[in-house]
Amino acid sequence: MLRVNNASDDELLVVPVYYTFGYWKQTQPVAVQLAEGKNALTFMRATEASAPIAIKEFFLYVSEPDIPAPPTNSTPAPPAPRPNAFIEVPALTTCAKQGIADVPAQFCHQACEATGANYAGVKAAANFTGCFVVTSGPHDKTCIFNTNASAAVCPDQPCTVDGGIAQQLCLRQ
């Protein structure tokens, strides 16, 4: 992650670091907006890693350089969002209505934990999309990722799943 000057946590840039098999390589470029005069670039990791990384040098270009992409087998999966990046929207709205992103399947378990719900895995549901938590009824505080990609959010809200009200989990942008 890269913080430029006093940028907020929401303005952190993701620097794509990949496994270089012990050889020095260049990462893909990241556009950085610098202020006139002195600037501070602060690099940090989003998660604790088991192996250290070494940075040999930094390059600042006026225009975007042509750097070859790394091999696909050397690129790690994107880091998981921080726990405060997840939000449970009220039962009468959805992520789409709020203009924020759905939680992808790979992060649903973490979103459930971050909102205090118990992740129950994946399930095909007819009337709700993505990652959601049941907030009442016999399955209160149960969180599920809907594998039914053709499901639509029910027209009459609040939506119900398995006899309880369902609320969508979203990813703050």
Domain residue limits, the chain: 1-79, 83-171
Query: Which secondary-structure segment (H or E) carries 113?
Result: helix 108-114
CA–CA dist 102, 170 (Å, integer) = 5
8 Å CB contact between 92 and 157: yes
8 Å CB contact between 43 and 2: yes
Predicted confidence (pLDDT) at residue 134 exceeds the cutoff of 70? yes
**Torsions phi, psi for 65 (to 5 deg):** -80, 160
Residues 6 or more apart whose Cβ sits within 8 Å of residue 101: 95, 170, 171, 173
**Encoding tokens for residue 15?**
């620097």
Model pTM? 0.56
**Mean pLDDT, the chain, integer:** 84
pLDDT at 23: 78
pLDDT at 101: 87
